[in-house]
Amino acid sequence: MKYIVDIKCLSVYIKGKKILECIDLKIPRNSIFTIMGPSGSGKSTLLRVINRLIDLIPYAKVEGKVYVFGMNIYNVDPYILRKQIGMVFQTPNPFPHLSIYDNVALGAKLNGVARNKDELDKIVEWALRKAMLWDEVKDRLREPPSKLSGGQRQRLCLARALAIKPKLLLLDEPTANIDPVNTRKIEETLTSLKNEMTIVMVTHSPHQAARISDYIAFLYMGKLIEWGPSSQILIRPRSKLTEKFLRGEI
Amino acid sequence: MKRLDRRIIMDRFFKYLVIVISLIALMPLFYIITSILVHGGSTVLKAGISFLYEPPPSPLSTNVGGIGPSLLGTILLMTITIIIGLPLAFFTAVLAVEYPNSIIAKFVGILTRSFIEIPTILIGVLVYTIMVLPMGRFSAIAGAIALALVSLPYMYTHIENALASIPWIYREAAYGLGLTKPKALFHIFMGIARRGIVAGILIGLAKASGETAPLLFTIGGSRHSYFQGLDKPIDAIPLLIYEFAQTPYNIYHEVAWGAALILLLIYLGVFATLRLLVKKVEL
């Protein structure tokens, strides 16, 4: 299976308003695929369709077909689908009542990724190392996440998503609210991960898309304007709209 | 400069006004607590520790006796009230928050809230009609059901508010991990909302433990014998205070003051312990 996500004429309406309009998109396996576009273009909605978090939004209607791992997502139990898909959100949202350790361990434990305490400890360490957070928190794993900085919290959320050992990782503007040092660490982590999983990231920054993407899709006003290898989209975009976005004009 | 002075004066005036009004609002509470401490304290000191386990005295006795059966009755009634009321309130609140568009959730929510408006004495009459009359006697279980109905809307409202106020970002994070609704509820949402949930339980319990009206029709006020079974009469401290305060005997008035102090100490003890045990979640 070359494409891990295959979207066919996807339209989404929320309270009757069209948010996405007949999107056709294929996301290649083991790549970093960036969905970029200005605010309100439907990027986050598209991401939430892939793991069916869109189901949580009242009055959301989805049309078209979405295949993830070769399965039609509406023929699969959403909980089983989400167990295989990690997600990191725009605002760092570690669970405030759990310790740093438990934040990372919870998903792995409840989803049956770890069978015993030793395995769980190993997964937690692996995920925190991947998120470049281990050295900063290894001596205070029992502390609450409120003791961490904003960037550290976001890397904790990345570790939490990685600990469920996903085949697909979704990131919704993960560096929008954090400083450049933490942004660099997250981007390095993502680059190191693409051999192990497929990464789909939403961003409004063409610079970030240029730094890490293998493929880029440009979304504007709910429509997919174009998508392709990042070099082609960034250097020789086919659409005037993409050009304007890259120049910061829209 | 003049304008600034005026602003500072207004600010101070407003601050002192708020403090004075707050103190006026608290005065009745101070008065009640002080009266209970003074009158109740003297009774408890006179009776000693036996006040907690002995039965009440006879009206012409010089010995204060105790409130043993009533204290035990209050503790048992509160325990059964929580066992009956908390699951009902909790799962009704979960239904309302997790399935907000469901007609059943809306109906149950409105019905539960409407219980707040009903005078508690009517809840006593209701339980009297559906339980006491068919059983042919007053009972602990009838009292506990009446108190559970009294506390239900308070617990429900607070637990619902606590669950509904969990920020959306944590809901997305929980479901994004692949957690099912029950797992997300028990491992994430209850943990984040724990302080609000405990506050709801305490408010419901406080409301129920201070109620007299529903007990008048349900428990029978059996204050000279200890617990004999859920289907047998029982007593509770509020009922003892209510009935003893109306008698012409000074010794009963003394016992009522002492009982009021014990009830106050139970409140403060339970509230303070739970507040200390359940730590605040820093979002």
pLDDT of res. B133: 97
Which chain A residue has its CA at the smallest distance from B194's CA? A97
Sequence-separated (6 or more) residues with CB below 8 Å from residue A90? A44, A172, A173, A174, A176, A177
C-alpha separations of A96 from B1, B167, B193 in Å = 47, 11, 10
Order of strands across the sheet with A223-229?
Answer: A85-88, A168-172, A198-203, A32-36, A215-220, A223-229
Could you tell me the two tokens for B254? 């003394």
pLDDT at B2 over 80: no
Q: Is residue A209 domain-resident? A: yes
Nearest to A56 among B101, B175, B187 (CB): B175
d(CA A70, CA A149): 39
CB neighbours (10 Å) of residue A229? 14
Sign of the four-CA dihedral B257, B150, B53, B244: positive
pLDDT of res. A49: 97
Question: Residues of B with CB below 8 A from A144's CB?
Answer: 282
Sign of the four-CA dihedral A107, A112, A117, A120: negative
Question: Residues of A with CB below 8 A from B192's CB?
Answer: 95-97
Nearest to A91 among B169, B183, B191 (CB): B169
pLDDT of res. A177: 85
How many pairs of residues across A and B have Cβ atoms under 8 Å apart? 77
C-alpha separations of B224 from A102, B58, B65, B96, B143 in Å = 52, 10, 11, 44, 18
A229, A207 contact by CB (below 8 A): no
CA B47 to chain centroid, in Å, comes to 27
Which chain A residue has its CA at the smallest distance from B101's CA? A58
Q: Is residue A152 domain-resident? A: yes
Residue A185, domain CATH:
3.40.50.300
Could you tell me the two tokens for A7? 């979207």
Question: Residues of B with CB below 8 A from A80's CB?
Answer: 178
A164/B177 Cβ within 8 A? yes
Query: Would you place residue B100 in the very low, low, confident or very high pLDDT band (cuts 50, 70, 90)?
Result: confident
A110 to chain B, any CB pair closer than 8 A? The answer is: yes
Which chain B residue has its CA at the smallest distance from A52's CA? B176
Gap from B169 CA to chain A (nearest CA, Å)? 6
Sequence-separated (6 or more) residues with CB below 8 Å from residue A99? A141, A142, A143, A144, A145
Interface of A with B in 202-241 (CB under 8 A): none
Interface of A with B in 150-169 (CB under 8 A): 157, 160-161, 164
pLDDT of res. A250: 83
Q: Is residue A5 domain-resident? A: no
Residue closest to B80 by CA, chosen among B244, B234, B276, B192: B234
Q: Is residue A191 domain-resident? A: yes
A50 to chain B, any CB pair closer than 8 A? The answer is: no
pLDDT of res. B115: 85
Q: Output DSSP code: residue A28.
A: E
Domain that holds residue A129: 29-56+77-217+224-246
ipTM of the complex: 0.94
pLDDT at B281 over 80: no
d(CA A197, CA A126): 15
Residues lower than pLDDT 70 in chain A? 1
B165, B250 contact by CB (below 8 A): no
B257, B64 contact by CB (below 8 A): no
pLDDT of res. B209: 87
pLDDT at B4 over 80: no
d(CA A237, CA A108): 41
What phi and psi values does residue B279 have, to the nearest 5 degrees?
-75, 150
Q: Residue A7 pairs with which residues in a beta bridge?
A: A25, A66
d(CA B219, CA B230): 10
Q: Is residue A6 domain-resident? A: no
A83/B175 Cβ within 8 A? no
- In chain B the domains, ranked by start, together with CATH numbers, are 68-277 (1.10.3720.10)
Q: Is residue A39 domain-resident? A: yes
Ranking A177-186, A209-218, B9-18, B108-117 by mean pLDDT, the lowest is B108-117
Nearest to B175 among A53, A96, A157 (CB): A53
B191, B203 contact by CB (below 8 A): no
Q: Is residue A171 domain-resident? A: yes
B148, B92 contact by CB (below 8 A): no
In chain A, beta strands by DSSP E? 3-14, 17-28, 32-36, 60-68, 71-72, 85-88, 168-172, 198-203, 215-220, 223-229
pLDDT of res. A127: 97
A160/B179 Cβ within 8 A? no
Digit-coded pLDDT (tens) for A9-38:
999 999 999 999 999 999 999 999 999 999
A57, A155 contact by CB (below 8 A): no
Structural domain count of chain A: 1
pLDDT of res. A65: 97
Residues of B at the A interface, defined by Cβ within 8 angstroms: 100-101, 167, 169-180, 183, 187-188, 191-192, 194, 281-283
pLDDT at B1 over 70: no
Nearest to A51 among B176, B180, B188 (CB): B176
CA B184 to chain centroid, in Å, comes to 29
pLDDT of res. A157: 97
* Higher pLDDT among residues B127 and A59, named by residue: B127
B100/A96 Cβ within 8 A? no
pLDDT at B3 over 80: no
Residue closest to B157 by CA, chosen among B101, B212, B114: B114
Which chain B residue has its CA at the smallest distance from A164's CA? B177
Q: Output DSSP code: residue B169.
A: H
Could you tell me the two tokens for B24? 């006026």
Digit-coded pLDDT (tens) for B157-213:
999 999 999 999 999 999 999 999 999 999 999 999 999 999 999 999 888 888 999
